[in-house]
């Protein structure tokens, strides 16, 4: 790919909401003063990709999904100081922000009051649509490109750019660590990383899952305990147990039941978004001075911190690598919860349309 000109590259795109993804060609901008040209090696498939491409829940079409991107720098603009050709790098959920609001200045770009520019389905500050990682190359401002340490394989690193930071941010914000009892609700793409990271932080980790068959996996990933929430007796048994509960599922939860599992001053933090409004009794909060919270990925600095932490502790995502032609099948399998625990696309298998 020529770094000096706008260039066509192969990709997989959803032409309209609900349509199968198909091979196509997209345009990538020339490498600007502070841009990095990245050859994509692997891109994870996130539930958000499916929600947007299949159900049209946010974003513009045609849509090239993918915001869990790992690869290698092939060219940089003349003003780039953070990266150089040959570096192992990643791109997550955003590729720009206003850089001027209080949140951006505090390294909380994900909460940019003027709206972060998302990696795909968004409109960049140049007025052009953004296309994600189901492609062979991407051009991104150096300030939104992360360094992937040598301690993580690129295929296992790709999902960390969304799933990893999505769980790392609340676990560290609410001080998961030695002496803390942490529960992870759900053992999917987010949940399995939540278990690994919480365990590495030194917390006592419990997995709460509707699927009894995931007990062995939970323990292999680092959980100290496993409970199947299909057994209603679990809620009485574990009442008042946890300092922190991280809910990684998007299904509707009985919030009162899960809040009852918290100790005094405990927090239930939600990462998934259920399809409809949620309800609870305020007594579930008042009774133990409990907190119901939410969290959204992390800023660029914290995402780099997460990658460094994972490399130091030998953590990567459990992945199944697929070819580009298997993307639509993978969407079906993710929707059926038939993946342990993240599909990752090998970008070398994305041929020209």
For residue 311, tell me if it sits in a domain.
Answer: no
Residues 232 and 252 occupy one common structural domain: yes
Phi/psi of residue 328, nearest 5 degrees: -65, -40
CA dihedral 295, 299, 305, 307 (to 10 degrees): 80
Residue 286, phi-psi category: left (phi > 0), alpha (psi -120 to 50), beta (remainder): alpha
Question: How many C-beta atoms lie closer than 10 Å to residue 4's C-beta?
Answer: 8
Coil vs helix vs strand at 326: helix
Confidence tier at 344 by pLDDT (50, 70, 90): very high
For residue 1, tell me if it sits in a domain.
Answer: no
Place of tokens 């999917």: 188
Nearest to 158 by CA among 11, 310, 338: 310
For residue 301, tell me if it sits in a domain.
Answer: no
Helix locations, 213-344, DSSP H = 215-221, 233-237, 255-259, 283-286, 300-312, 327-335
User: Residue by residue, what is the 3-state secondary structure of 148-182?
Assistant: CCCCCCHHHHHHHHCHHHHHHHHHHHCCCCCCCEE
Q: At what angle do helices 163-173 and 300-312 cross, to 10 degrees?
A: 90
CA–CA separation, 235 and 257 (whole Å): 7
Average pLDDT over residues 28-37: 97
Average pLDDT, the chain: 96
pLDDT at 2: 64
Residues 224 and 105 occupy one common structural domain: no
Residues 251 and 343 occupy one common structural domain: no
pLDDT at 276: 87
Average pLDDT over residues 243-247: 98
Write out the residue range of the structural domain in which residue 320 sits. 7-162+316-349
Residues 75 and 206 occupy one common structural domain: no
**Are the C-beta atoms of 184 and 195 separated by less than 8 Å?**
yes
For residue 307, tell me if it sits in a domain.
Answer: no
pLDDT at 352: 82
Coil vs helix vs strand at 342: strand
Residues 221 and 232 occupy one common structural domain: yes
CA–CA separation, 196 and 265 (whole Å): 24
Q: What is the pLDDT of residues 307-323, one digit of tens each?
A: 999 999 999 999 999 99
CA–CA separation, 157 and 163 (whole Å): 10
CA–CA separation, 11 and 133 (whole Å): 8
Residues 236 and 281 occupy one common structural domain: yes
Q: What is the pLDDT of residues 129-160, one digit of tens each?
A: 999 999 999 999 999 999 999 999 999 999 99
Residue 211, phi-psi category: left (phi > 0), alpha (psi -120 to 50), beta (remainder): beta
The CATH number covering residue 219 comes to 3.40.50.720
The CATH number covering residue 96 comes to 3.90.180.10
Residues 55 and 86 occupy one common structural domain: yes
Residues in the chain, total? 353
For residue 302, tell me if it sits in a domain.
Answer: no
Residues 128 and 174 occupy one common structural domain: no
For residue 34, tell me if it sits in a domain.
Answer: yes
- Decide if pLDDT at 284 tops 70: yes
Q: What is the pLDDT of residues 66-101, one digit of tens each?
A: 999 999 999 999 999 999 999 999 999 999 999 999
**Are the C-beta atoms of 207 and 217 separated by less than 8 Å?**
no
For residue 310, tell me if it sits in a domain.
Answer: no
Residues 132 and 99 occupy one common structural domain: yes
Average pLDDT over residues 266-279: 93
Residues 149 and 219 occupy one common structural domain: no
Q: How many domains does the chain have?
A: 2
For residue 259, tell me if it sits in a domain.
Answer: yes
Residues 321 and 227 occupy one common structural domain: no
pLDDT at 239: 98
Residues 76 and 136 occupy one common structural domain: yes
């Amino acid at each position: 790919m020529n770094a000096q000109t706008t260039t066509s590259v192969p990709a997989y795109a959803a032409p309209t909401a609900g349509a199968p993804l198909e091979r196509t060609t997209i345009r990538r901008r020339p490498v600007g003063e502070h841009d990095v040209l990245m050859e994509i090696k692997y891109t994870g498939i996130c539930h958000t990709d499916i929600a947007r491409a299949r159900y049209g829940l946010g974003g513009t079409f045609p849509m090239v999904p993918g915001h869990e991107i790992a690869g290698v720098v092939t060219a940089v603009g003349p003003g780039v100081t953070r990266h150089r050709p040959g570096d192992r790098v990643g791109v997550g959920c955003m590729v720009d922000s206003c850089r001027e609001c209080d949140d951006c200045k505090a390294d909380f770009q994900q909460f940019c009051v003027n709206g972060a520019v998302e990696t795909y389905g968004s409109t960049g500050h140049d007025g052009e649509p953004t296309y994600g990682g189901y492609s062979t190359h991407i051009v991104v401002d150096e300030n939104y490109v992360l360094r992937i340490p040598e301690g993580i394989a690129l295929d296992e690193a790709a999902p960390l750019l969304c799933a990893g930071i999505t769980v790392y941010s609340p676990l560290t914000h609410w001080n998961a660590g030695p002496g803390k009892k942490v529960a992870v609700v759900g053992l999917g793409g987010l949940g399995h990383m939540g278990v690994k990271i919480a365990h590495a932080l030194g917390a006592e980790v419990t997995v709460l899952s509707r699927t009894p068959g995931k007990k062995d996996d939970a323990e292999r990933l680092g959980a100290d305990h496993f409970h199947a929430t299909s057994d209603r007796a679990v809620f009485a048994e574990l009442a008042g147990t946890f300092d922190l509960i991280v809910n990684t599922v998007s299904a509707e939860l009985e919030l009162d039941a899960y809040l009852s599992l918290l100790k005094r001053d405990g927090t239930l933090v939600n990462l998934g978004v259920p399809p409809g409004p949620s309800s609870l009794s305020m007594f579930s909060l008042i009774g133990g001075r409990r907190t119901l919270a939410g969290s959204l990925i992390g800023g660029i600095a914290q995402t780099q911190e997460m990658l460094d932490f994972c490399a130091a502790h030998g953590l990567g995502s459990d992945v199944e690598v697929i070819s580009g032609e298997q993307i639509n099948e993978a969407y079906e399998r993710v929707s059926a919860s038939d993946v342990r625990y993240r599909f990752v696309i090998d970008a070398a298998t994305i041929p020209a349309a």
